[in-house]
Amino acid sequence: MRNLLQGFKNIIKRILQAIKRRMKKIGIGWAFIIPALFFITLFVIIPIFYSMFLVTQSCRGIVCESNFTGNIDKLMGDVQFRQVFKNTFIFFIVQVPIMLTLALIFAVILNNPKLRFRGVFRTAIFLPAVTSLVAYSVLFKMMLAPEGIMNTAISFIGISPIGWLTDPFWQRVTIIIALLWRWTGYNMIFYLSGLQNIDKEMFEAAEMDGANKRQTFFKITIPQLKPIILFTAVMSTIGTLQLFDEPFNIIRGSGTTASTMTLSQYIYNLSFVYIPNFGYAAVISYVIMIIAALLTIIQFRIMREEK
């Protein structure tokens, strides 16, 4: 590991020197990028290279042996992996479209300058996004407990109590509700900021041409927001594939984990709960990376800007 790091250090040094020498040739654009590249190399790229090395290892704590094919064989026959993969995909497919649609609707409504109390509503809807994870999981656990406020509320309309935290089906519903609650306002912020960057004159021109609200929305708002919509779609995809916080904090300890454990939670368990096997954990993480990359490429293709 030390040698590896030393090697990278030298490589960075050489790259920096080369850049300095050829700054004029390469162009000013790189000067904007280099500071970020420096930190990302140090704190992201190097760790990723190390984790790539880990993929070939099978570990028990600090006792590791080289066994890449063993890891792949294990992955192929891993029942639990199949289960957590399925769970993660259910969350992804159900939650992301609902959340992004809602966020866009909120943003467009709240962008209307004629709407009163805009600031109040905006703050209210964004509020869940600022809660710390610990806070939010304590809250959800208390509200969704067997005799919690949620079951009391639904009993008024004649529905019998639901095992929000314990029933395998409803656990998933709980996670999706929690995700929507926390992240819809968060995504709304991106759309709101994107809406501000649209030239006001475009809307004015459309209004003068007699376009109604729906037409304006589909002809101006959506195309102009496209880059931001792509951004939120990609980030939500990655975020959901790496989903960890909600199932880890809300369900774990409350109910059985079989129907809500996600890929990231499995990685965490492989590293910090079961006998630590950092090698196999790294293998799973690259499965996530490959899937996320494929989905991102598809999204970029769909949203590609017409030149």
Instruction: Show contacts with another protein in window 3-62 (CB under 8 A).
Output: 5, 23, 27-40, 42-48, 50-51, 54, 60-62
| Contact stretch for another protein (CB under 8 A) within 89-97, 214-222, 261-269 | 261-269
Q: Is 133 in the site for another protein (CB under 8 A)?
A: yes
Long-range CB contacts for residues 71-76, cutoff 8 Å, separation at least 24: 71/279, 71/280, 71/283, 72/283, 74/280, 74/283, 75/280, 75/283, 75/284, 75/287
- Which residues within the stretch 89-108 sit at the binding site for another protein (CB under 8 A)? 106
Closer residue to another protein (CB): 94 or 128: 128
CB 262 within 8 A of CB 243: yes
- Which residues within the stretch 191-250 sit at the binding site for another protein (CB under 8 A)? 192-200, 224, 227-228, 230-231, 234-235, 238, 241-242, 244
| Other beta carbons less than 10 A from residue 194's beta carbon | 21
**Site size for another protein (CB under 8 A):** 127
CB of residue 130 to another protein, shortest distance in Å: 4
CB of residue 209 to another protein, shortest distance in Å: 20
CB of residue 204 to another protein, shortest distance in Å: 10
Q: Is 299 in the site for another protein (CB under 8 A)?
A: no
Strands 57-60 and 63-66: antiparallel
Rounded to whole angstroms, the Cα distance separating 226 from 285 reads: 30
Residues 6+ positions from 269 with CB-CB distance below 8 Å: 261
CB 125 within 8 A of CB 210: no
Q: Which of 103, 185, 236, 246 binds another protein (CB under 8 A)?
A: 185
